[in-house]
Amino acid sequence: MNEQSGSGGTVRLGSGAMFDAIAGRYDLLNRVMSLGLDRGWRRRAVRALDLGANARVLDLATGTADLAIDIARAYPTASVVGLDPSPEMLRIAGEKTARAGIDRISFVTGSAEELAFDDASFDGVTIAFGIRNVPDRARALREMARVTRPGGRVVVLELAEPREGWLGSVARLHVRHVLPRLGSILSGTSEYRYLQRSIAAFPPAEVFGETIAAAGLDVMTIEPLAFGACVLFVAKSRQVSTSVATAIGHGATEPSA
Protein backbone atom coordinates (compact mmCIF):
# COMPACT_ATOMS: atom_id res chain seq x y z
CA MET A 1 0.00 0.00 0.00
CA ASN A 2 1.67 3.21 -1.20
CA GLU A 3 -1.14 5.68 -0.79
CA GLN A 4 -3.27 6.95 2.01
CA SER A 5 -6.61 8.74 1.81
CA GLY A 6 -7.44 11.61 4.11
CA SER A 7 -9.47 14.79 4.20
CA GLY A 8 -7.02 16.38 1.76
CA GLY A 9 -7.39 13.54 -0.82
CA THR A 10 -5.00 10.72 -1.67
CA VAL A 11 -1.39 11.18 -0.65
CA ARG A 12 1.52 8.95 -1.74
CA LEU A 13 3.26 7.67 1.37
CA GLY A 14 6.77 9.10 1.64
CA SER A 15 5.97 12.00 -0.70
CA GLY A 16 6.46 15.69 -0.06
CA ALA A 17 2.69 15.98 0.56
CA MET A 18 2.92 13.39 3.35
CA PHE A 19 5.82 15.28 4.92
CA ASP A 20 3.90 18.56 4.61
CA ALA A 21 1.37 17.07 7.01
CA ILE A 22 3.90 16.08 9.69
CA ALA A 23 6.52 18.82 9.19
CA GLY A 24 5.74 20.61 12.47
CA ARG A 25 6.41 17.45 14.50
CA TYR A 26 9.20 15.98 12.35
CA ASP A 27 12.24 17.05 14.40
CA LEU A 28 10.76 15.86 17.71
CA LEU A 29 9.68 12.55 16.16
CA ASN A 30 13.12 12.08 14.64
CA ARG A 31 14.94 12.62 17.96
CA VAL A 32 12.61 10.43 20.02
CA MET A 33 12.27 7.61 17.52
CA SER A 34 16.00 7.31 16.78
CA LEU A 35 16.72 7.60 20.54
CA GLY A 36 18.80 10.68 19.68
CA LEU A 37 21.19 8.66 17.52
CA ASP A 38 20.27 10.50 14.29
CA ARG A 39 22.50 13.45 15.23
CA GLY A 40 25.62 11.29 15.45
CA TRP A 41 24.72 9.53 12.18
CA ARG A 42 24.46 12.88 10.37
CA ARG A 43 27.84 13.96 11.83
CA ARG A 44 29.40 10.82 10.30
CA ALA A 45 27.87 11.72 6.94
CA VAL A 46 29.25 15.28 7.19
CA ARG A 47 32.80 13.99 7.87
CA ALA A 48 32.52 11.54 4.96
CA LEU A 49 31.98 14.47 2.55
CA ASP A 50 35.63 15.47 3.08
CA LEU A 51 35.23 18.92 1.48
CA GLY A 52 37.89 21.46 0.56
CA ALA A 53 37.56 25.23 0.88
CA ASN A 54 34.62 27.06 -0.71
CA ALA A 55 32.84 23.84 -1.56
CA ARG A 56 29.32 23.77 -3.01
CA VAL A 57 27.09 21.04 -1.63
CA LEU A 58 23.64 19.79 -2.62
CA ASP A 59 21.58 18.23 0.20
CA LEU A 60 18.68 16.29 -1.31
CA ALA A 61 15.51 15.51 0.68
CA THR A 62 16.84 18.18 3.02
CA GLY A 63 13.61 18.24 5.06
CA THR A 64 14.02 20.56 8.03
CA ALA A 65 17.71 21.06 7.11
CA ASP A 66 19.42 19.24 9.98
CA LEU A 67 22.10 17.84 7.67
CA ALA A 68 22.46 21.07 5.67
CA ILE A 69 23.04 22.99 8.93
CA ASP A 70 25.58 20.41 10.14
CA ILE A 71 27.46 20.70 6.82
CA ALA A 72 27.51 24.52 6.95
CA ARG A 73 28.78 24.43 10.54
CA ALA A 74 31.48 21.83 9.88
CA TYR A 75 32.75 23.55 6.69
CA PRO A 76 32.66 27.33 7.38
CA THR A 77 33.39 28.32 3.75
CA ALA A 78 30.92 25.90 2.16
CA SER A 79 27.61 26.89 0.61
CA VAL A 80 24.72 24.44 0.66
CA VAL A 81 21.63 24.07 -1.50
CA GLY A 82 18.86 22.13 0.28
CA LEU A 83 16.26 20.54 -2.02
CA ASP A 84 12.95 18.98 -1.02
CA PRO A 85 9.47 18.60 -2.57
CA SER A 86 7.74 19.61 0.70
CA PRO A 87 7.19 23.39 1.00
CA GLU A 88 6.24 22.97 4.67
CA MET A 89 9.48 21.12 5.57
CA LEU A 90 11.41 23.87 3.72
CA ARG A 91 9.52 26.60 5.58
CA ILE A 92 10.68 25.13 8.89
CA ALA A 93 14.18 24.66 7.41
CA GLY A 94 14.27 28.38 6.56
CA GLU A 95 13.23 29.35 10.10
CA LYS A 96 15.91 27.08 11.59
CA THR A 97 18.75 28.44 9.44
CA ALA A 98 17.65 32.02 10.20
CA ARG A 99 17.61 31.22 13.95
CA ALA A 100 21.06 29.61 13.62
CA GLY A 101 22.34 32.78 11.85
CA ILE A 102 23.55 30.78 8.84
CA ASP A 103 23.22 32.55 5.47
CA ARG A 104 25.15 30.03 3.34
CA ILE A 105 22.18 27.68 2.89
CA SER A 106 19.54 28.24 0.20
CA PHE A 107 16.48 26.10 -0.48
CA VAL A 108 14.69 24.92 -3.60
CA THR A 109 11.60 22.78 -4.03
CA GLY A 110 12.09 19.79 -6.28
CA SER A 111 12.56 16.08 -6.64
CA ALA A 112 15.82 14.14 -6.45
CA GLU A 113 14.86 12.37 -9.68
CA GLU A 114 15.05 15.51 -11.81
CA LEU A 115 17.65 18.07 -10.77
CA ALA A 116 17.68 21.50 -12.39
CA PHE A 117 21.45 21.87 -11.99
CA ASP A 118 24.33 21.73 -14.46
CA ASP A 119 26.59 18.71 -14.80
CA ALA A 120 29.43 18.61 -12.26
CA SER A 121 28.17 21.74 -10.49
CA PHE A 122 28.61 20.46 -6.91
CA ASP A 123 31.64 19.29 -4.92
CA GLY A 124 29.47 16.94 -2.90
CA VAL A 125 25.90 15.63 -2.78
CA THR A 126 24.11 14.21 0.27
CA ILE A 127 20.79 12.57 1.03
CA ALA A 128 19.87 11.56 4.59
CA PHE A 129 16.86 9.33 5.31
CA GLY A 130 15.46 10.42 1.97
CA ILE A 131 16.37 7.94 -0.78
CA ARG A 132 13.88 5.43 0.71
CA ASN A 133 11.07 7.87 -0.17
CA VAL A 134 12.14 8.39 -3.78
CA PRO A 135 10.08 6.24 -6.19
CA ASP A 136 12.81 5.91 -8.87
CA ARG A 137 16.00 5.56 -6.82
CA ALA A 138 18.22 4.55 -9.75
CA ARG A 139 17.22 7.71 -11.60
CA ALA A 140 17.91 9.86 -8.53
CA LEU A 141 21.35 8.28 -8.13
CA ARG A 142 22.16 8.95 -11.81
CA GLU A 143 21.18 12.57 -11.26
CA MET A 144 23.40 12.71 -8.16
CA ALA A 145 26.31 11.31 -10.20
CA ARG A 146 25.65 13.82 -12.98
CA VAL A 147 25.68 16.96 -10.81
CA THR A 148 28.73 15.93 -8.75
CA ARG A 149 32.12 16.99 -10.13
CA PRO A 150 34.54 14.14 -10.90
CA GLY A 151 36.18 13.10 -7.63
CA GLY A 152 33.43 14.69 -5.52
CA ARG A 153 31.61 12.60 -2.94
CA VAL A 154 28.06 11.34 -2.85
CA VAL A 155 26.98 10.44 0.68
CA VAL A 156 23.78 8.50 1.39
CA LEU A 157 22.49 7.87 4.91
CA GLU A 158 19.54 5.52 5.22
CA LEU A 159 17.67 3.49 7.81
CA ALA A 160 17.70 -0.29 7.47
CA GLU A 161 16.49 -3.47 9.18
CA PRO A 162 19.03 -4.15 11.96
CA ARG A 163 21.25 -7.21 11.44
CA GLU A 164 21.23 -10.57 13.21
CA GLY A 165 22.57 -11.16 16.75
CA TRP A 166 20.93 -10.42 20.09
CA LEU A 167 21.71 -6.70 20.03
CA GLY A 168 20.45 -6.68 16.47
CA SER A 169 17.24 -8.34 17.75
CA VAL A 170 16.72 -5.54 20.27
CA ALA A 171 17.25 -2.97 17.52
CA ARG A 172 14.91 -4.92 15.21
CA LEU A 173 12.25 -4.98 17.91
CA HIS A 174 12.59 -1.21 18.24
CA VAL A 175 12.26 -0.65 14.46
CA ARG A 176 9.43 -3.14 13.88
CA HIS A 177 7.24 -2.63 16.93
CA VAL A 178 8.22 0.31 19.16
CA LEU A 179 8.96 2.84 16.44
CA PRO A 180 5.64 2.75 14.52
CA ARG A 181 3.58 2.82 17.74
CA LEU A 182 5.65 5.63 19.19
CA GLY A 183 5.31 7.55 15.93
CA SER A 184 1.54 7.12 15.85
CA ILE A 185 1.15 8.22 19.48
CA LEU A 186 3.45 11.22 19.13
CA SER A 187 2.24 12.43 15.77
CA GLY A 188 -1.42 11.53 16.15
CA THR A 189 -1.33 10.11 12.62
CA SER A 190 -0.70 6.73 11.05
CA GLU A 191 1.98 7.97 8.62
CA TYR A 192 4.74 6.63 10.81
CA ARG A 193 3.61 3.04 10.17
CA TYR A 194 4.90 3.80 6.70
CA LEU A 195 8.36 4.27 8.23
CA GLN A 196 8.66 0.65 9.39
CA ARG A 197 7.19 -0.71 6.15
CA SER A 198 9.50 1.35 3.96
CA ILE A 199 12.55 0.35 6.03
CA ALA A 200 11.61 -3.33 5.64
CA ALA A 201 11.11 -2.85 1.89
CA PHE A 202 14.48 -1.11 1.36
CA PRO A 203 17.05 -3.41 -0.32
CA PRO A 204 19.94 -4.90 1.69
CA ALA A 205 22.99 -2.60 1.87
CA GLU A 206 25.10 -4.60 -0.60
CA VAL A 207 22.27 -4.63 -3.16
CA PHE A 208 21.76 -0.88 -2.82
CA GLY A 209 25.54 -0.49 -3.16
CA GLU A 210 25.23 -2.13 -6.60
CA THR A 211 22.51 0.36 -7.57
CA ILE A 212 24.89 3.18 -6.56
CA ALA A 213 27.68 1.69 -8.70
CA ALA A 214 25.30 1.18 -11.65
CA ALA A 215 24.51 4.91 -11.51
CA GLY A 216 28.14 5.71 -12.40
CA LEU A 217 29.63 6.16 -8.94
CA ASP A 218 32.58 4.37 -7.32
CA VAL A 219 31.43 2.97 -3.99
CA MET A 220 34.13 3.73 -1.39
CA THR A 221 32.55 2.42 1.84
CA ILE A 222 29.30 0.91 3.10
CA GLU A 223 29.22 1.28 6.88
CA PRO A 224 26.47 -0.13 9.11
CA LEU A 225 25.77 2.04 12.19
CA ALA A 226 23.87 1.05 15.38
CA PHE A 227 23.83 -2.69 14.57
CA GLY A 228 22.74 -1.95 11.03
CA ALA A 229 19.74 0.22 11.96
CA CYS A 230 21.35 2.87 9.78
CA VAL A 231 23.79 2.53 6.86
CA LEU A 232 26.25 5.13 5.58
CA PHE A 233 27.11 4.78 1.88
CA VAL A 234 30.06 6.85 0.61
CA ALA A 235 30.76 7.00 -3.12
CA LYS A 236 32.90 9.07 -5.45
CA SER A 237 31.84 10.52 -8.78
CA ARG A 238 33.82 9.08 -11.70
CA GLN A 239 31.69 10.84 -14.28
CA VAL A 240 33.26 13.00 -16.96
CA SER A 241 30.87 15.86 -17.63
CA THR A 242 28.86 15.69 -20.84
CA SER A 243 30.51 18.79 -22.28
CA VAL A 244 34.03 17.42 -21.72
CA ALA A 245 33.03 14.00 -23.08
CA THR A 246 31.62 15.72 -26.17
CA ALA A 247 34.78 17.78 -26.57
CA ILE A 248 36.97 14.64 -26.34
CA GLY A 249 34.70 12.92 -28.88
CA HIS A 250 35.36 15.84 -31.22
CA GLY A 251 39.11 15.58 -30.95
CA ALA A 252 39.75 18.30 -28.35
CA THR A 253 42.71 17.91 -26.02
CA GLU A 254 41.87 15.94 -22.86
CA PRO A 255 42.10 18.15 -19.75
CA SER A 256 45.15 17.36 -17.62
CA ALA A 257 43.40 17.78 -14.20
Ligand X SMILES: C[S@@+](CC[C@H](N)C(=O)[O-])C[C@H]1O[C@@H](n2cnc3c(N)ncnc32)[C@H](O)[C@@H]1O
List contacts with ligand X (CB under 6 A). Answer: 14-16, 19, 30, 60-63, 66-67, 84-86, 89, 111-113, 128-130, 133-134
Q: How far is the CB of 130 from ligand X (least distance, A)?
A: 4
Q: How far is the CB of 64 from ligand X (least distance, A)?
A: 6
CA atoms within 13 A on the CB side of 237: 27
By beta-carbon proximity to ligand X, the closer residue of 9 and 251 is: 9
For residue 223, how many other CB atoms are within 10 A of its CB?
Answer: 14
By beta-carbon proximity to ligand X, the closer residue of 79 and 247 is: 79
By beta-carbon proximity to ligand X, the closer residue of 91 and 218 is: 91
Q: How far is the CB of 215 from ligand X (least distance, A)?
A: 15
The answer to whether the beta carbons of residues 93 and 64 sit under 8 Å apart is yes
Q: What is the phi-psi region of residue 172: left when phi exceeds 0, alpha when psi lies from -120 to 50, beta otherwise?
A: alpha
By beta-carbon proximity to ligand X, the closer residue of 100 and 165 is: 100
Q: How far is the CB of 66 from ligand X (least distance, A)?
A: 5
Q: What does 71-121 look like in DSSP terms, one character per residue?
A: HHHHSTT-EEEEEES-HHHHHHHHHHHHHHT--SEEEEE--TTS--S-TT-
Whole-angstrom Cα Rg for the chain: 18
Residue nearest to ligand X (CB): 63
By beta-carbon proximity to ligand X, the closer residue of 84 and 123 is: 84
Q: How far is the CB of 32 from ligand X (least distance, A)?
A: 13
Q: How far is the CB of 13 from ligand X (least distance, A)?
A: 10
Q: What is the dihedral of CA 108, 113, 116, 118, to 10 degrees?
A: 130
By beta-carbon proximity to ligand X, the closer residue of 10 and 256 is: 10
Phi and psi of 236, rounded to 5°? Answer: -120, 140
CA distances from 229 to 48, 77, 153, 167, 173 (A): 18, 32, 23, 11, 11
